[in-house]
Amino acid sequence: MTTTTKHDTTGGAAARQNARRWTVLALCCVASAMLGIDASVLNYAVPSLSAQLAPSATQLLWIVDVYGFALGALLIVAGNLGDRIGRKKLLLIGVACFGVASGISAYASTPATLIAARAVLGVAGATIMPSTLSLVRASFTDPKERTTAVGISGGVGAGSFALGPVVGGLLLDHFWWGSVFLVNVPVTAVLLGAGAIVLPESRNPQPGPLDWRGVPLSVVGLFGVIYAIKTGARDGVAEPSVWITAALGAVLLAVFLHRQTALAHPLLDLRLFRNRAFSGAISANVVTMFAASVLSLGFSLYFQVIRGWSPLTAGLAVLPGPLAAAFTAPAAGSLIPLIGRARTVAAGLFLMGVTTAGLGLATPHTAYWQLLPVVVVNGAGLMLIFAVTADTILASAPSTRTGAAAAISETGMELGGALGIAVLGSVLSAYYRSDLRLPSGLTAAQSSTAHESVTSGVETGRHLPGALGRHVTEAARQAFTDSMHTTTLIGGGLLLLGAVAALISLRDVPAVLNGPDPEPVPAPVAG
């Protein structure tokens, strides 16, 4: 009887622990999804908030961009802070700040207030993003379960960007522009209440001193680089502000990286990159985000401008990709023992490369059912990559540095995505302008406007009478889809090269990674 009771007690404790860690994963996924949706939903509220707040052109750009600037610049610092004060504590602080800033954003009465609130949202996002992956890693100790859990968490974060148009479209159809921010408030309330009870605390027991001199070098340097990339992609690289901020950011980052090599407890532990698994997984993520950005940019324009669909319909059209990614996460964990990490990542990159090129072959009249299977396979390929690379990055770093490792991963993905938009977006625009064949009968001003972008081209055609307007609109649509063919072929080619690189860089990484604890011996302190 005693033995049975003891067995029941042990079994009950194990069941509760099992349920708790999956609840941790669910909460972390909700937090990741909230960040992803918030990053993309604002674009759909811009017309209505512009009418209400009447921001200047510069203010509007800061309203849209300041979130990404703050988030990307502070990830490395936030990841290190979580390792020191506790990842649960930092996550809850970030969630609370995110909720307050969301409420202020929703009811902002001036552009300056909205810009400030959006900046706070970016800071809060930087504290939440690496903390979620770190807490998932700490909760799942079994390597196979950890791979699945980390993959699901990372995949939800990446795929949630596609939910922004859906959420934004549903809200803006019924409520005012502030609703896209106000919806975050009840979500953060649930996260705070449940997170305080369920989330485990984890931290580095011997973190060492924080590199306070390195903090401004890192933050200002990354801010400058990200600002230059995004501004250059939008306004062109001829703008003096682009070169000035790029040069300043690059110099500060060079000083920062040099400083990190001489510290026993650096903000950015460059020794992590000596681990082939870590550096190979980071590289695969950067290539994926760089090339995948062309789909995010191109197909938003394709569905809304070329096909004339509403933001909600366009969001629903791409939603099967993230849904396929969510269902692929368990499969990724099962593939690793069968074919290894290198082949699983390479398979994901191959699928994404082929489908990226395939999606680019769409015409203005391609039926959606023909695109749907390619969208689904593309999403599945994305998850095969992120499910393995996220787990590889976290398992390759000491458990005392998982916050920093997750922050490095997220920073690489932010930079990869920004560079992809800048480079491939510029290629897309350049080919559109060169491929555009306008009919005769337009004024110089009308021709110049039509050449600016596909949106301007279609709008120019709509304001022209009769057959002339139809010809201009059709020419703009055809030029854009032709430019998509070229740009997605470049993106697909880069992904295929990434598949080859993954086979090489990850070929010796074992299927089971238990982590490299204890932490590496510290480097000598500079005298």
Q: Is the bond into 200 cis (omega within 30 degrees of 0)?
A: no
pLDDT recorded at residue 346: 94
- Separation of alpha carbons 66 and 118, rounded Å: 6
Residue with tokens 């569905």: 303
Domain 269-511, CATH class in plain words: mainly alpha
Residue with tokens 């650096």: 266
pLDDT at residue 515 tops 70 = no
Cβ neighbourhood burial of 468 (10 Å; 0-12, 13-18, 19+)? middle
pLDDT at residue 525 tops 70 = no
- Separation of alpha carbons 221 and 224, rounded Å: 5
Q: What share of the chain is helix, strand, coil (3-state, %, to 5)?
A: 80, 0, 20
Handedness of CA 246, 249, 252, 253 (dihedral sign): negative
Q: Please give the average per-residue pLDDT across 250-254, as a whole number.
A: 90
Structure tokens at 209: 């001193």
- Asked if 164 contacts 39 with a C-beta cutoff of 8 angstroms, the reply is yes
- Asked if 103 contacts 91 with a C-beta cutoff of 8 angstroms, the reply is no
pLDDT recorded at residue 9: 56
Q: Report the helix count and the strand count for the chain, using DSSP H and E.
A: 19, 0
Write down the mean pLDDT value for the chain: 83
pLDDT at residue 487 tops 50 = yes
Q: How far is CA 47 from the centre of its chain?
A: 24
Q: pLDDT tens-digit profile of 141-156?
A: 777 778 778 877 877 7
Ramachandran region, residue 443 (left: φ > 0; alpha: ψ -120 to 50; beta: rest): beta
82-91, 243-252, 316-325: least confidently modelled range: 316-325
Q: pLDDT tens-digit profile of 406-453?
A: 888 888 888 888 888 878 888 888 888 888 888 888 888 888 888 888
Helix axes 57-85, 46-53, angle to 10 degrees: 110
Q: pLDDT tens-digit profile of 331-378?
A: 777 788 888 889 999 999 999 999 998 888 888 888 899 999 998 999
pLDDT at residue 524 tops 50 = no
10-24, 85-99, 424-438: least confidently modelled range: 10-24
pLDDT recorded at residue 355: 93
pLDDT recorded at residue 516: 54
Architecture of the domain delimited by 16-210: Up-down Bundle (1.20)
| 305 secondary structure, DSSP code | I
Q: What is the SS3 string spanning 374-411?
A: HHHHHHHHHHHHHHHHHHHHHHHCCHHHHHHHHHHHHH
First to last CA, the chain: 66
pTM of the entire predicted model:
0.83
Angle (CA) 209-215-216 rounded to 5° is 145
pLDDT recorded at residue 6: 53
pLDDT recorded at residue 495: 94
Residue with tokens 């015409």: 363
pLDDT at residue 195 tops 50 = yes
pLDDT recorded at residue 520: 41
Cβ neighbour number for residue 365 with a 10 Å cutoff: 9
Which of 18-22, 40-44, 105-109, 199-203 holds the top average pLDDT?
105-109
* pLDDT band, residue 137 (cuts 50/70/90): confident
pLDDT at residue 204 tops 80 = no
Cβ neighbour number for residue 228 with a 10 Å cutoff: 24
Cβ neighbour number for residue 257 with a 10 Å cutoff: 16
pLDDT recorded at residue 298: 80
